[in-house]
Amino acid sequence: MRTVTTRAELEQSLAQLPRPIALVPTMGALHAGHAALIDTARRTAATVVVSIFVNPRQFANAADVARYPRTLEGDEQLAKAAGADLLFTPTVDEIYPPSETVATIEPGPLASRLEGASRPGHFAGVATVVSRLFDLVRPDEAYFGVKDAQQVRVVAWMAAQRSDRITIHRVATVRDRDDLALSSRNQMLSANGRVAAAKTIPVALSLIAEAYASGVTSVATLRTLAERVITAEPSVTLDYLDFADSASLVPLAEDAHVGDAASGEVLVSLAAVVDGVRLIDAITLP
């Protein structure tokens, strides 16, 4: 595996590597979830490119950007072991050159709710940096985790607008032994915060899945089951627990049932704050 930091080095390296090319965009602090993305890409692509870039445009402020964990040495080891061919670790000036105007990319109709409402401008930042990486890497396909459920849908919409028609692949969430979804942000939790997150977020979603499997389809009933778990833990603050059509992200009414979703699948999204750290998770029904 080769590591490059500049656009010129990236272009030179890509010219020597075979297609098809798969891109795994990340912000670093890599973990087993990222390894699963790389491994999945490795199975079909001739070349796997992993990018590590903490994108300032998708954060609310500079303090949040500075707080994000950075573990480049370990990231290089994990990416190499997982099967990456090329690691791209650009600076901000490489992605957003001071001498160039990098236009903000419209994130589309799926970006207005959920994380889009809680974090104004977030998905414009995501769409912009991913589009920028697509321009630089020119991949045939890209891989994203389904934990970031709304993000992967926004990226797929954005990719469909491009003339190069990059295929977007979704890879299943990888969970730790306590069932908490793996996330780079987990490193920012205290020991007590970690315990609180694990005994609420995945448990709430599991209760919904189990109740649905047993025949409960009422959105209101499923919501109540999950919210009881979250509100019982004072150190966890629920931002939203959302039931929406999986394809359109149109929310289901409280008196609706899972089967009412037009696409036939419901996305259950949850966002909560623990130790000042925002954590998200999601499942689909059925």
pLDDT in tens, 6-65: 999 999 999 999 999 999 999 999 999 999 999 999 999 999 999 999 999 999 999 999
Q: What is the value of pTM for the model shown? A: 0.96
Judgement on whether residues 199 and 160 belong to the same structural domain of the protein: no
34 is known as an active-site residue: yes
The tokens for 197 are: 């997150």
What pLDDT does residue 22 have? 98
Judgement on whether residues 57 and 81 belong to the same structural domain of the protein: yes
> How many structural domains are present in the chain?
2
Judgement on whether residues 218 and 155 belong to the same structural domain of the protein: no
| Residue given tokens 């954590």 in the structure block | 279
Number of neighbours of residue 111 by Cβ within 10 angstroms: 24
What pLDDT does residue 32 have? 98
Residue 178 placed within a domain = no
Judgement on whether residues 103 and 72 belong to the same structural domain of the protein: yes
Residue 176 placed within a domain = no
Judgement on whether residues 258 and 133 belong to the same structural domain of the protein: no
Residue 137 placed within a domain = yes
Judgement on whether residues 149 and 47 belong to the same structural domain of the protein: yes
What pLDDT does residue 136 have? 98
Residue 177 placed within a domain = no
Q: How far apart are CA 24 and CA 133, in angstroms?
A: 10
Judgement on whether residues 166 and 62 belong to the same structural domain of the protein: yes
What pLDDT does residue 101 have? 94
Number of neighbours of residue 267 by Cβ within 10 angstroms: 25
Find out whether the peptide bond into 98 is cis, omega within 30 degrees of 0. Answer: no
Residue 71 placed within a domain = yes
Q: Residue 154, CB half-sphere, CA atoms under 13 Å: how many?
A: 26
Judgement on whether residues 147 and 32 belong to the same structural domain of the protein: yes
Residue 179 placed within a domain = no
Judgement on whether residues 39 and 126 belong to the same structural domain of the protein: yes
Boundary residue ending a domain (149, 171, 193): 171
Boundary residue ending a domain (113, 140, 171): 171
Judgement on whether residues 44 and 156 belong to the same structural domain of the protein: yes
Q: How far apart are CA 76 and CA 117, in angstroms?
A: 34
Using alpha carbons, select from 43, 45, 44 the residue that is nearest to residue 18: 45
Q: Please pick, among 34, 122, 169, 257, the residue that the annotation labels catalytic.
A: 34
Residue 126 placed within a domain = yes
What pLDDT does residue 144 have? 98
Boundary residue ending a domain (119, 141, 171): 171
Q: How far apart are CA 167 and CA 140, in angstroms?
A: 6
Full residue range of the structural domain in which residue 6 is found = 2-171
User: What is the sign of the dihedral through the CA atoms of 91, 95, 100 and 104?
Assistant: negative
Residue 9 placed within a domain = yes
Judgement on whether residues 45 and 106 belong to the same structural domain of the protein: yes
Residue ranges of the chain whose pLDDT lies below 70: none
Q: How far apart are CA 160 and CA 106, in angstroms?
A: 13
Judgement on whether residues 267 and 125 belong to the same structural domain of the protein: no
